């Protein structure tokens, strides 16, 4: 349930009752984890830059490079990103390709090709189509933006490895499910696929998945 810049899911919310009614396994997970609150990332440009910098890196490595980039820029903005010499960004740990990606994003924002004021009012698919015009922003990055910056309620990313791993754990599957399989499974969670994703990620964050915790069987 979106309230300003906060997404809050509690036992009285439509998401909670809807997911419990649609999927008892997911319902058990909701009961186990309890209420959930997400503070949205409302610095849209900074959020996308951070997503680009973190691609194919560990959480720790991504945080280190982000902090070095912030230290260089002072404030992450299209102007500061474009003003920095590529060599200085390389010294901060950015690859040549990621430098080109964040500079392409910055230029498109300044040129008006990416208008965040307009994007916030577009349907999900149009947001994805707008953002993926930028080099280095694929569908997954755009979907994370929909969830963590815009707070859209019904987003599911079958490309997300963490979600697939969490689903394998939740349902006690022998093998990691494929993208088509998890997309079909997530159909049951409509129109609350964002809430389902957040709880599965939270199970990973709390160590339930790697710790071997099992959702009780009926």
Cite the active site residues: 160
Tokens coding 122:
């577009």
205-215 exposure pattern, b = at least 16 Cβ within 10 A, e = fewer = eeebbeeeeeb
| CA nearest to 199, candidates 5, 13, 16, 1 | 16
What residues pair up with 2 in beta bridges, in sequence order?
7
CA distances 191 to 45, 110, 135, 178, 202, Å, are: 27, 35, 30, 22, 19
- The 3-state DSSP class for residue 191 equals coil
Distance separating alpha carbons of residues 102 and 108, to the nearest angstrom: 10
- What DSSP character marks residue 187? G
* Burial of residue 17, with CB atoms counted within 10 A of its CB: 0-12 exposed, 13-18 middle, 19 or more buried: middle
């Amino acid at each position: 349930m979106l309230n300003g810049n906060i997404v809050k899911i509690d036992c009285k919310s439509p998401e909670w009752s809807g997911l419990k009614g649609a999927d008892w396994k997911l319902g058990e997970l909701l009961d186990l984890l309890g209420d959930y609150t997400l503070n949205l990332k409302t610095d849209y440009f900074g959020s996308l830059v951070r997503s680009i910098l973190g691609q194919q890196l560990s959480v720790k490595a991504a945080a280190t490079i982000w902090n070095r980039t912030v230290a260089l820029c002072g404030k992450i903005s299209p102007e500061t990103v474009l003003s920095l010499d590529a060599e200085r960004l390389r010294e901060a740990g950015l690859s040549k390709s990621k430098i080109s990606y964040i500079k392409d994003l910055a230029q498109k924002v300044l040129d008006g090709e990416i208008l965040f004021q307009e994007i916030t009012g577009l349907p999900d698919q149009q947001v994805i189509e707008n953002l993926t015009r930028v080099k280095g922003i694929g569908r997954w990055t755009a979907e994370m933006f929909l969830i963590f910056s815009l707070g859209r309620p019904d987003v599911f990313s079958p490309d997300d490895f963490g979600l697939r791993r969490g689903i394998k754990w939740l349902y006690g599957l022998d093998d990691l499910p494929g993208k088509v399989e998890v997309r079909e499974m997530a159909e049951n969670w409509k129109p609350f696929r964002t809430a389902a994703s957040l709880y599965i990620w939270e199970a990973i964050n709390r160590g339930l998945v790697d710790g071997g915790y099992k959702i009780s069987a009926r």
